[in-house]
């Protein structure tokens, strides 16, 4: 019964609510973990669950050292699942209705220093099509603060205002314009002039900006792979870098150079200024380290 109830719920997330695949997969894993423990206690379906069952499970997770962020996500998965089942009248009552989710710890985003970021980008200095493509991709990610999904989805018609702006379709189908200039603009121009046709092989129907050696749009995994490979070449641990780290670097380095926090919010496409303000903590941490160099510290 648990398996059927989870499958019904995850299917609804995918097809009714159009939730991201990664979120659906995470919720499914969390619910299977939870229901596996419940099955060991003799529970066979959501209709048999009570609030004490859920409290005991989450308390055990905390005592076993589970991170607060993971516990918060698992609590959210359980709450949304049971509410869905009640709304569909699969269960009569929602035992998680009064459940309070643990607060997620605010973790500072990982970033590279400016010197490390420049070393990563400047190391890609070849003139082969793959080098020109990878350099353009990473320069655009860092120079424009794009999410990996936005890089994968970027199309030629999204380069507007005579090449000076990118039109980005972000989360919630919210559109924003991001300036394209400097190193990112130059790298993209070189890629279009000397490399992209080598990947598309003249296929004018393919309009994505960045394409693989098979002439197809990149997946998130493909972009991750390129960044990891290029990090190793620049003597940077691949564990320290990801597409989102480059996005963090964009915001943090802009802030360090005096950019307004609300301008950074707009460029990143954050709906809430609170999401962007995490970078002020990064900047404060940097200045605290610098201050340790003071002779009277």
Output Rg (C-alpha) for the chain, integer angstroms. Answer: 23
Catalytic residue among 71, 73, 247, 253: 247
Reply yes or no on whether 270 is catalytic: yes
> Can you state the angle between helices 261-268 and 243-256, rounded to 10 degrees?
160
Reply yes or no on whether 281 is catalytic: no
Catalytic residue among 147, 196, 208, 248: 147
Catalytic residue among 27, 142, 191, 279: 279
Return d(Cα 180, Cα 141) in angstroms, integer: 11
Reply yes or no on whether 201 is catalytic: no
Catalytic residue among 29, 32, 88, 171: 171
Catalytic residue among 123, 176, 244, 286: 244
Return d(Cα 268, Cα 249) in angstroms, integer: 12
Reply yes or no on whether 123 is catalytic: no
Reply yes or no on whether 135 is catalytic: no
Reply yes or no on whether 142 is catalytic: no
Active site residues: 147, 171, 244, 247, 270, 279
């Amino acid at each position: 019964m648990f398996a059927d109830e989870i499958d019904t719920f995850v299917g609804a997330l995918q097809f009714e609510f159009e939730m991201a695949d990664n979120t659906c997969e995470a919720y499914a894993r969390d619910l299977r973990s939870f229901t596996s423990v419940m099955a060991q206690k003799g529970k066979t379906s959501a209709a048999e669950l009570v609030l004490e069952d859920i409290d005991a499970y989450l308390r055990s997770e905390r005592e076993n050292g589970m991170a607060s962020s993971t516990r918060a996500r698992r609590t959210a998965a359980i709450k949304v699942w049971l509410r869905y089942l009640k709304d569909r009248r699969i269960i009569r009552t929602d035992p998680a209705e009064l459940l309070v989710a643990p607060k997620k710890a605010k973790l500072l985003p990982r970033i590279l220093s400016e010197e490390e970021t420049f070393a990563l980008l400047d190391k890609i200095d070849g003139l082969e099509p793959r080098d020109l493509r990878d350099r353009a991709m990473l320069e655009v990610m860092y120079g424009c603060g794009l999410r990996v999904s936005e890089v994968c989805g970027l199309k030629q018609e999204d380069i507007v205002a005579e090449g000076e702006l990118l039109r980005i379709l972000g989360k919630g189908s919210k559109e924003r314009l991001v300036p394209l200039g400097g190193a990112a603009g130059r790298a993209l121009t070189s890629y279009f002039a000397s490399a992209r046709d080598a990947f598309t092989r003249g296929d004018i129907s393919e309009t994505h900006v960045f394409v693989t050696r098979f002439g197809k749009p990149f997946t998130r995994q493909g972009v991750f792979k390129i960044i990891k490979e290029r990090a190793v070449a620049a003597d940077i641990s691949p564990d320290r870098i990801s597409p989102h780290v480059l996005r963090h670097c964009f915001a943090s380095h802009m802030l360090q150079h005096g950019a307004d926090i609300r301008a950074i919010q707009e460029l990143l496409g954050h709906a809430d200024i609170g999401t962007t303000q995490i970078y002020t903590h990064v900047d404060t941490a940097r200045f605290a380290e610098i201050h340790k160099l003071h002779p009277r510290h």
